[in-house]
Structure 1
Amino acid sequence: MSHTAMSDMKAERISVEVASDDGKAVIQKGGTRVDEHEMARMGKQQELRRNFKFVGIVSFVTILQSTWECTILANWFGLFNGGTAGLIWCTIGVWLCMMALIASMAEMASMAPTAGGQYHWVSEFAPPRFQKSLSYVVGWCCCLGWIAGIPACGLQLAGIVQDMVLLVHPEAAVTTLWQTTLILFLFVMLTVGFNIFFAHHLPLAEGIILFAHVFGFFAFMLTLWIMADHAPASKVFTEFHDGGGWNSIGLSCLVGLATPIWCFIGPDAGAHMSEELKDASLLLPKAMMWATFGNGILGIAMVITFCFCITDLNEVIGPKASDYPIIHVVHTATGSYAGTIVLGGLLVLLLYFSTVTTVASASRQVWAFSRDGGFPFSSWIRRVSRWEIPLNALILCLGVSLTLSAINFGSPLAFNAILSVSNAALIFSYIISVGCVRLKRLRGEPLLPRRWSLGKYGGIINDITLAFLVIGFAFSFFPVAPLLDDSRWAADMNWAIVIFSATIILASGYFWAGGRHKYIAPVSLVKND
């Protein structure tokens, strides 16, 4: 089918026959003829209901990234390595580069709108001899990146709850590692539970939370601008800080990139929900672009506002400071416990639903990869329950998330390690998938028909994307400070490199030990028109 023919198709509902206990039943899956054709081309069956429409998927990606919320929550690392000036300018730079990445991925999503995302794209676009092995490793990295994002979000939730408790009751003993981890366990279980019992209400919930997302932005913005003391602009925009002792402001800022990257990470989230989106090949790319553009505007405005409220940097990054200084900043500005708790509670609500969407994306990624036989016990993981959700994939995400969360029992640096491995694993998958498309362009090979295209600018946008991703990947493994003390190297090391390397070794080992005979490379199922 030609690109023009696909673009001119009239969207209409399709019916899918599925077996039930009472025999055959016809269930509306909510797709269009274009969706049906694209699923057939990729050799996939429509198993999930297409509940999402354009506004719903924009809300989904927006809430998952939660950029302005992350700029005021996960900013300690960026402030410590970069200061206010480093955090602001790096956030702006990361946003611009992320827009190039989103554009590259949006084009691939239009070519092949599948829940598999990157590993599927690598399978179709990589050189033939690498299609199976490379897509297999990318599939494992995608799953690691998404699942690691669940406890990383949960740790933020636990931390901000503890800070609010300590604000009102400074003598409370609630900050030991085991207490933090148990709170983390609770939030992980609550977010997975939402995805199990309220999955069909997720599009509606995302629309409501999008309103809260925008309302919360203005609530924090106005509070900080009107009530807080402000540092001079010359200090905010020009004073950098090398807290790690790297002896180079430039290097220190690059180490601090983990903060702004975390604020924008997950642009592939919409792709993993594409089999639940109506008219995905057209609406998904637009949703990805608009969500990241809007999040960037709000995020940059908020990070600048927040940095203006830091009159003494040592108060927010010093040894006695919290990892989440926003509670201190808001209380200093308002002088009110009640006001601070209300705004903090709003942050908890928004971050909770950001974690809910992270769980949804992770489970769809795991489900899609098991559908192609990528994991041991894939036949169990890939089952779709009678509620039309990947229930077993959600259970697997819960188990792995709790296991990763247990790292926090032994190390207060667990958040940095889990955040870094989530960043690194997803960035690795972006590098390989965008790199495969760039290679096809360099070789002059035709790309698949798509309804959203980069056109003649595709090559340069891919190049900008790859340059940015390589830098981000390398600095995802850096520790907070150089490992100069041999007696403390284990405590100060960024253990993300160990988790990431173990995943690569495990994936490669399982592949050559027998996984290659079970894994079905998506390209082998593709049907050419």
Structure 2
Amino acid sequence: MNSAARTALPDMKPEERYSMEELGHDGKMPTKGGTAADEREMQRMGKAQELRRNFKFIGIVGFVTILQATWESTLLANYFGLFNGGTAGVIWCTIAVWLLMLCVIASLAEMASMAPTAGGQYHWVSEFAPPKYQKSLSYVVGWCCCLGWISGIPSCGLQLAGIVQEMVLLVYPNADVQALWQTTLMVFLFVIVTVGFNIFFARHLPLAEGVVLFLHIFAFFAFLLTLWIMPEHHATSREVFTTFNDGGGWGNIGVSCLVGLATPIWCFIGPDAGAHMSEELKDASLHLPRAMMWATFGNGIMGIVMLTTFCFCITDLQGLLNSDSQYPIIQVLHGATKSYAGTCVLGSILVILLFFSTVTTIASASRQTWAFSRDQGFPFSSWVRYVPPTWEIPLNALLVCLGVSLILAAINFGSDTAFNAILSVSNAALIFSYIISVGCVRLRRLRGEPLLPRRWSLGKWGGPINDISLAFLFVGFVFSFFPVAPSIGDPKWAANFNWAIVIFAATCLLALLYYVCGGRKKYVAPVSLVKQE
């Protein structure tokens, strides 16, 4: 029945105004703003629709775009890439990571179209892994995914605190604002405020993402024109594209650039964010994969252009690296504008954009935590998974993310080295979940086993794209645990050591311990709820 016919029949019951294609499998209207396809997919996966589907295509594109915040990250997280790699290293590595990450995201997007669920990777592993390993492997992936997302929250808070401190020190060079306790309290503040936004303004999140998406694009051109036009001097093309730097002393430019992969990977990490919001997206199996691809494609172009422009503004790389700041963008902006006010205005725009990137990170982390507790993956899962009917958001999962983030941030009171390890483990844990997810699908393809129906498919290119993704992810995973500089034989090795591998291993051990001591009896592997069709 077309829309005109529906309008002409105002006295019909709501169910009668929908065609059979729009209605659910039982002839009833889809619940909480979904479509018939959403209803069928939730029924197949054995899940109840508990969250309202507030997001549409543009909203979820904005969500993924703002979370990745690629061009902003190229300005805020470039220190490690410049230190290990130089301007040439960080530019060429970022281009390579973008192209390879598109393959990873295409692989994840196909799985998201097969099973659009907030569980994301651990659910996909449960459905696609060999039957013998479906339960145990999905359980470990669920823990790692939650670790990756939750540890990303204080990471974003630390960047927010750092950029604010840099602006204060620019205007007041003698200000005492860099003590560990001061930084930690600022991280606390930003984490509490961003979690509060997710609790009290959840219904307005899609609108906020649309508005911030506009700011994201507008600010890109504002920064680009500032860095193109205002500096008195720019580096030459030869200096920018051929100057490599082995700041860590690895003795090999190739190894140094690989260690510096932390910068470009951080700029593109989190493509699964949209998947964790899929139960709040209308027509998710179609719109979600498209949104993941378009967001990363657009973000990549803007990020590479911005990073290249930024590198042209660096006329003294060693002087920049030898300064006390890990956020050289503030120095570069001030050198370009010659104005404290102009630098602080542009810096404040970065703070706003990063603030909403943190908001989206918390939203994804809470949905991942909620979904895993829905399948009894955590202690006290019945409390964590509770969704107040009038709120229609995973309130308790948000509170868990808040509490764990504050505990992780509190480590910074004692040691910024230990805290930096928490930041590194976010990359490693998410990459691990991608490896297992893509690996399971690739194994099914190799065995000739059928995949689930999907509305967005890689077709005959699925196998090669999965292979490229896995090769890249293995390299990224290994180098996520490398320290900034080699520490063998160094009496201060503990200060330079990347403790991320210890945290990652401890989390896996904790998950295994809980699983053996009773978790295996409580955990409900998602595949056990799936209805075979």
Tell me which interval the TM-score lies in, with the shorter structure as reference length: over 0.9
Instruction: Identify the residue that residue 355 of structure 2 maps to in structure 1.
Output: 352
Q: Which residue of 2 aligns with 1:4?
A: none
Name the counterpart of 1:242: 246
Structure 1, residues 387-416: CA drift from partner, whole Å, max 9, x if none? 101000000001111111122122233553
Cα contact 1:230–1:310 (8 A) shared by 2: yes
1:94 to 74, 92, 97: 97
**How is 1:271-286 mapped onto 2 (pairs within 5 angstroms)?**
271-286=275-290
2:439 corresponds in structure 1 to 435
- Measured after TM superposition, the shift of residue 34 of structure 1 is 0.6
Relative distance call for 1:133 and 1:390 in structure 2 (3 A) is same
**Residue 253 (structure 1) aligned with residue 257 (structure 2):** yes
Q: Deviations over 1:372-391 (max 9, x none)?
A: 00000000000002310100
1:74, distance to aligned residue in structure 2 (A): 0.5
1:111-133 Cα distance to aligned partner (Å, 9 max, x none): 00000000000000000000000
Say which is worse superposed, 342-351 or 384-393, in terms of deviation. Answer: 384-393
Q: Does 1:203 align with 2:206?
A: yes
Q: Is residue 62 of structure 2 the alignment partner of residue 48 of structure 1?
A: no
Cα deviation digits, residues 47-105 of structure 1 (max 9, x gap): 00000000000000000000000000011111000000000000000000000001000
Q: Does 1:499 align with 2:510?
A: no
Task: Give secondary structure in 2 for the equivalent of 1:413.
Answer: helix
Unaligned runs of 5+ in 1: 1-7, 18-25
Cα 1:68–1:460, aligned 2, differ >3 Å: closer, same or farther?
A: same
Letter of the 2:464 partner, please give it.
I
- The size of the alignment, in residue pairs, is 513
Decide whether aligned partners of structure 1 residues 523 and 419 sit closer, same or farther in structure 2, where only a CA change above 3 A counts.
Answer: same
Tell whether the 8 Å contact from 1:262 to 1:419 is kept in structure 2 after alignment: no
| Aligned with 1:377 (options 380, 394, 414) | 380
C-alpha contact (below 8 Å) 1:13/1:31 kept by paired residues: no
Name the aligned partner's letter for residue 221 of structure 1: L
Residue 343 (structure 2) aligned to one of 332, 340, 343: 340
Is it true that 1:79 corresponds to 2:90 in the alignment? no
- Runs of 4+ that moved beyond 4 A: 12-17
* CA distance 1:451–1:412, shift in 2 (3 Å): same
1:526 shift after superposition = 0.2
Structure 1 distance, partners of 2:311, 2:182, is: 30
Is residue 2:476 matched to residue 1:472? yes
User: 1:26-175, aligned counterparts within 5 Å?
Assistant: 28-175=31-178
Shift of 1:10: 3.4
Give the percent of matched residue pairs that are identical in Structure 1 and Structure 2: 76
In 2, Cα distance between equivalents of 1:424 and 1:313: 29
Distance change in 2, residues 1:127/1:28 (3 Å):
closer
The amino acid of 1:186's aligned partner reads L
**1:15, distance to aligned residue in structure 2 (A):** 11
1:441-499 CA deviation, whole Å, 9 max, x = no partner?
A: 00000000000000000000000000000000000000000003442111111111111
CA contact (8 A) 2:150 2:404 kept: yes
Counterpart of 2:160, as a letter, is L
Q: What is the alpha-carbon distance in structure 2 between the residues aligned to residue 404 and residue 90 of structure 1?
A: 30
- Structure 2 distance, partners of 1:187, 1:37, is 39
The separation in 1 between residues aligned to 2:320 and 2:422, in whole angstroms, is 22
Q: What secondary structure does 2:349 align onto?
A: helix
Superposition CA RMSD, Å: 1.6
Task: Report the secondary structure of 2:532's partner residue.
Answer: coil
Partner Cα distance (1:265, 1:343) in 2: 24
1:181–1:409 contact (8 Å) kept in structure 2? yes
Q: Could you say what secondary structure the match of 1:202 adopts? A: helix
Counterparts of 2:524 and 2:129 in 1: how far apart (Å)?
15
Cα separation, 2, equivalents of 1:13 and 1:119 = 27
CA distance in 1, matches of 2:319, 2:58: 41
Tell me the TM-score normalised to structure 1 length. Answer: 0.95
Task: Determine the C-alpha separation between the residues in 2 that align with 1:311 and 1:467.
Answer: 36
The one-letter code sitting in structure 2 at the alignment partner of 1:77 is F
TM-score (norm 2): 0.94
Contact kept, 8 Å, 1:82 with 1:240, in 2: the verdict is: yes
Counterpart position of 1:20: none
Instruction: Report the AA paired with residue 21 of structure 2.
Output: K
Distance 1:13 1:55, change over 3 A: farther
The one-letter code matched in structure 2 to 1:395 is: L
Q: Which one-letter code corresponds to 1:121 in the other structure?
A: W
**The residue matched to 1:417 in structure 2 has which SS?**
helix
In the TM superposition, what are the counterparts of 1:210-249 in structure 2 within 5 Å? 210-228=213-231, 229-249=233-253
8 Å CA contact retained: 1:9, 1:34: no
Tell me the amino acid that sits aligned with residue 104 of structure 2. L
Equivalent residues in 2 for 1:418-457, closer than 5 Å? 418-457=422-461
Does the 8 Å CA contact 1:82/1:252 hold for their aligned counterparts?
Answer: yes
In structure 1, how many angstroms separate the alpha carbons of the residues matched to 2:95 and 2:490? 36
8 A contact 1:155–1:415 mirrored in 2: no
